[in-house]
Amino acid sequence: MPTSRSRRAGPDRAAALAQYRRRAWVYDLELALFEPVRRRAVAWLAPRPGDTVLDVGCGTGLSFALLQDAVGTGGHIVGIEQSPQMLEKARQRVQRHGWRNVKLLCAPAEEARLSGRADAALLHFTHDVMQSGAALDHVLHHLKPGATLVASGLKWAPSWALPVNLLVLPAALRSVSSLAGLQRPWQELAKRVGEPERQTLLAGGVYLVRARAPAKA
């Protein structure tokens, strides 16, 4: 398990891999509560038929069906996930549905072997990726100028919303390798693209942001 010191520091890849090795078998059930957030995030992303979408930190592929409905058979989905156990669940999902336009990459977001530039990127509950400047730079580099990026996840609610933060804390301890940045999880993204559009849900305990890839990522 990550130590309290590592929780205060930046993302810890080894800790994250250990977390999701343990969680892969039950991950879909654990995320069921946040499915409305996923649906809102994909709706805000608004991919179009024929688009190529990067699903960064795709986990078990829970967003694939929503993205498939949007991009159609003429579009493409690239799922990036560093956990082999999680990605195997995603692969099983793809095979079960017979999707032929999904490419899966087992790699950290900053190291994924991407080609060309995509039309959109989704980062759903990927706090560690959002705290990694290298990961964000890599994703932005592989987006077309003006492409849409939507991110969502946990955040600290305002200080007056103590009950909300008492729910955010255990959820974060189970899903992130570092608590650093939970006040403004989009801060690294904002350094690169400016302040994004924002929405908050669950009394401030969940956020969504939307930004456009710059002309020169």
What CATH number should be reported for the domain holding residue 32?
3.40.50.150
Report whether pLDDT(114) > 80.
yes
Report whether pLDDT(4) > 50.
no
**Is residue 162 domain-resident?**
yes
Alpha-carbon distances of 1 from 20, 170, 174, rounded to whole Å: 11, 14, 10
Range of weakest confidence among 5-14, 30-39, 207-216: 5-14
**Is residue 47 domain-resident?**
yes
**Is residue 208 domain-resident?**
yes
**Is residue 194 domain-resident?**
yes
**Is residue 165 domain-resident?**
yes
The number of domains in the chain is: 1
Report whether pLDDT(73) > 50.
yes
Q: Provide the mean pLDDT of the chain.
A: 94
Q: Which two tokens stand for residue 124?
A: 């759903």
**Is residue 217 domain-resident?**
no
- pLDDT at residue 8 in the model: 52
Show the domain range for 31. 4-212
Mean pLDDT for 63-79 is: 98
- Residue 102's pLDDT band (cuts 50, 70, 90): very high
27 φ, ψ to 5°? Answer: -60, -45
Q: Which residues contact 68 (CB under 8 A, 6 or more apart)?
A: 75, 77, 97, 99, 101
- pLDDT at residue 9 in the model: 65
Three-state secondary-structure class, residue 149: strand
- pLDDT at residue 217 in the model: 46
